Amino acid sequence: MNNPATAISPPAGIGDHKPANQAVLDWVHEVELLTQPENIFWCDGSERENDFLISESLKQEVLTKLNQKRAPRSYLHRSNPNDVARVEQFTFICTPTKAEAGPTNNWSEPGETYSKLDGLLKGAMRGRTMFVVPYIMGPPDSPLTKIGFEITDSKYVVLSMRIMTRMGEIAVKRLGSDPKAEWNRGVHSLLDVNPERRFICHFPQDNAIISVGSGYGGNVLLSKKCLALRIGSYLARKQGWLAEHMLILGVESPEGKKHYVAAAFPSACGKTNFAMLIPPKHFAGWKVTTVGDDIAWMQIRDGRLWAVNPENGYFGVVPGTSYKSNPNAMKSIERDTLYTNVALTDDGDMWWEGKDGPPPKHAIDWRGNDWTPDSKEKAAHPNSRFATPMRNNPVLDPHVEDGDGVPISAIIFGGRRSDTMPLVFQAFDWEHGTYVGSTMASETTAAAAGAVGKVRRDPMAMLPFCGYNIGDYFRHWLETGKRLTNPPLIFHVNWFRKSADGKFLWPGFGDNMRVLKWIIDRCEGRVGATESPIGHIPRMQDLDLDELGGVTPNQMRELLNVSAEEWQKEVSDHAKFFESLGGVVPDELEKQRKNLAGRFKS
Ligand code: GTP
Ligand code: SPV
Ligand code: MN
């Protein structure tokens, strides 16, 4: 088994870029005394540093070089097979009181948790190099942008952070020498990559994160789910903005009119794909561009919501990605990409389930074992991922670096629902939309350890990512609505409804443009809908379905159908969910629920 933690000794000029800020130096020294690394590597984010870390990682077999003709500057990493996804049961919000973390988070007392983690971290980096990774989240000139430092003993983390964040000198410069400046302290150690010693702990009051025992994605790239969402959402409420698990896309009509929309779908439910959508031929002249594929930070200006993408790269689901389903993602990952847990072909290329073309006759699977098309095991892990710089995206939105962000015309919620949820509906207003978001549900996926395919409530796709009491989070949404004079319209979509024989009714991917077009037309006030108990639903004639192959009018009716029977069960599930939250749900949302139930009775 490769060990991403083995020490390295860099030549002069690499790894010695110490920042001037005394608060950072003191903190690093403290962690050094505790973890006792062999040496400290101060990252500057330079090309030279990256080349050095890649060559060391190849030597130590932390990375495998891919066929450089097919995938220039791209590498494969295999994680420990016990460590392939986020671990929600070992993720903690450590606030002084349990009530601050609320009913949906695992809580643990900060003092005790620090002691427990100190015990685990004691001497944990002996024989290892301790990397100090400075980074910023957000465009360099945005008022929302945050500084973070991540200490880690994993080269894989350093290489990933350089793709996923604006890393190195840019953060050191921005921080400057003020010892009182605000920045996030993140400590990560692989320890012995043992699930029994795996904890992802957040200390919102201290703007601090400690993650131990994992080497995988959302558990260890502390910028992402830990800072940009859990700590981010906590700061957002305090400071009056929103940190959300949302993609941000631009959509431009043939006349040149542009709208931006943000969409919250749970993990592995289609954000990256939607953010890079290529409209079908029939929509000639329409163009979709990507601002972000996973996280949106949104602030109020002139009564509108404006969004920035805090990230610098995409950490995307690999299986199912193909030139057919998502050509822009395929073009993005043709080079400069760090793959985790995909299969390796005999000619140094990659393979995964759902890639274009026939499977290879032989490959090495994600665990490092021989694989053939007859194997029972999957070649790539269902949660295998790519990390690729957003600059590689052929449809990157030109305003991605704008510090003020892009104005949001519509917010879309959605999940994986085999039944009940129609293809699309529009909420009546912001408060109803907040209710729709707060009660959304989705079938679980491989993005988190645990059962797959189980319907669970996942408010605003933030269940695993809200860093404080979910009742206060709902209240923050309601308060935000009151401050918006020009609020985005709110919608709900479901690409995943199935027929009685278990097949997806909707072709999805590029054809989701048909739904997006209706949403934009609603924003422009130029298309009709019918009023149903759950919201405004397009009639068949309100959707542009020309040249949509493979969907019969009957299937279309099924896709748009609101079944009173299914919805009675749905509304009673909403009630059970709210009840399970133990009295934190705002009255406005309880009232929305009663009104919804009432609309089905009358
Ligand atoms: P995270 O990175 O975990 O937050 O996931 P995500 O929300 O970005 O999901 P992503 O776009 O990576 O899609 C996850 C899986 O859903 C992939 O296997 C896709 O192929 C599949 N998928 C995405 N969009 C559609 C769609 O419109 N229809 C269907 N049937 N599948 C889709
Ligand atoms: C998700 O699970 O929502 C992801 C992948 O985006 S991870 O970064 O691992 O959280
Ligand atoms: Mn995500």
DSSP one-letter string for 172-185: HHHHTT-TT---EE
Please give the number of the atom of ligand 2 that sits closest to the Cα of 219: 9
Nearest residue by C-alpha to atom 10 in ligand 2: 218
Spatial CA neighbour of 420 closest among 562, 240, 217: 562
Nearest residue by C-alpha to atom 19 in ligand 1: 320
H or E element, residue 414: strand 406-414
The gap between the terminal CA atoms of the chain, to the nearest Å, is 63
DSSP character string of 13-65: TSSB---S-HHHHHHHHHHHHHH--SEEEE----HHHHHHHHHHHHHTTSSEE
Residues of the chain where predicted confidence (pLDDT) is lower than 70: 1-2, 602
**Using CB atoms within 10 A of its CB, is residue 169 exposed (0-12), middle (13-18) or buried (19+)?**
middle
86: Cβ below 6 Å to ligand 2? yes
Q: Number of helices and strands (H, E) in the chain?
A: 16, 31
Nearest residue by C-alpha to atom 27 in ligand 1: 508
SS3 sequence of 335-371 = CCCEEECCEEECCCCEECCCCCCCCCCCEECCCCCEE
Tell me the ligand closest to 222's alpha carbon.
2
Spatial CA neighbour of 243 closest among 254, 253, 235: 235
Please give the number of the atom of ligand 2 that sits closest to the Cα of 224: 8
Strands of 190-321 (E only): list them: 199-203, 208-212, 242-244, 247-252, 258-264, 287-292, 296-301, 304-308, 313-317
Catalytic residue among 94, 201, 226, 269: 269
Give residue 372 CA to ligand 3 midpoint distance, Å.
31
270: Cβ below 6 Å to ligand 2? no
- With a Cβ cut-off of 6 Å, ligand 1 is lined by 265, 267-273, 293-294, 316-317, 319-320, 325, 447, 495-496, 504, 508-509, 512
Nearest residue by C-alpha to atom 4 in ligand 2: 267
Give residue 156 CA to ligand 1 midpoint distance, Å.
25
Please give the number of the atom of ligand 2 that sits closest to the Cα of 245: 3
Q: What's the pLDDT score for residue 2?
A: 62
Give the three-state DSSP class for 148: strand
Please give the number of the atom of ligand 1 that sits closest to the Cα of 511: 27
Give residue 528 CA to ligand 3 midpoint distance, Å.
33
Give residue 51 CA to ligand 1 midpoint distance, Å.
32
What residue type is 100 in one-letter code?
E
Tell me the ligand closest to 507's alpha carbon.
1
208-214: Cβ within 8 A, 24+ apart: 208/184, 209/184, 209/185, 210/114, 210/117, 210/121, 210/186, 211/186, 211/187, 212/117, 212/120, 212/121, 212/124, 212/188, 213/120, 213/189, 214/83, 214/87, 214/190
> How far is Cα of residue 163 from the mean position of the Cα atoms in its chain?
15
Q: How far apart are CA 129 and CA 41, in angstroms?
A: 7
Is residue 417 a contact partner of residue 497, using CB atoms and an 8 Å limit?
yes
The torsion angles phi and psi of 461, rounded to 5 degrees, stand at 60, 25
Which of 267, 341, 442, 452 has the most ligand 2 atoms within 8 A of CB, as the residue to mutate?
A: 267
Give residue 294 CA to ligand 3 midpoint distance, Å.
5
Strands 424-426 and 489-493, how do they pair?
A: antiparallel
Q: What's the pLDDT score for residue 601?
A: 85
Nearest residue by C-alpha to atom 10 in ligand 1: 270
Global confidence as pTM: 0.98
Please give the number of the atom of ligand 1 that sits closest to the Cα of 325: 20
Which of 271, 278, 317, 326 has the most ligand 1 atoms within 8 A of CB, as the residue to mutate?
A: 317
Strands 304-308 and 296-301, how do they pair?
A: antiparallel
H or E element, residue 129: strand 129-137
Q: How far apart are CA 220 and CA 209, in angstroms?
A: 10
Give residue 466 CA to ligand 2 midpoint distance, Å.
14
Give the three-state DSSP class for 110: helix
Q: How far apart are CA 533 and CA 408, in angstroms?
A: 26
**Using CB atoms within 10 A of its CB, is residue 204 exposed (0-12), middle (13-18) or buried (19+)?**
buried
CB neighbours of residue 276 within 10 Å = 27
Per-residue tokens: 553? 């009018």
217: Cβ below 6 Å to ligand 2? yes
What residue type is 455 in one-letter code?
V
Q: What's the pLDDT score for residue 186?
A: 98
Please give the number of the atom of ligand 2 that sits closest to the Cα of 317: 5
DSSP character string of 76-87: EE---TT--SB-
318: Cβ below 6 Å to ligand 2? no
The torsion angles phi and psi of 263, rounded to 5 degrees, stand at -135, 130
492: Cβ below 6 Å to ligand 2? no
Tell me if residue 269 is catalytic.
yes
Q: How far apart are CA 271 and CA 227, in angstroms?
A: 19
SS3 sequence of 279-304 = CCHHHCCCEEEEEECCCEEEEEECCE
Strands 106-107 and 208-212, how do they pair?
A: unpaired
Per-residue tokens: 161? 């952070």
Q: What's the pLDDT score for residue 246?
A: 99
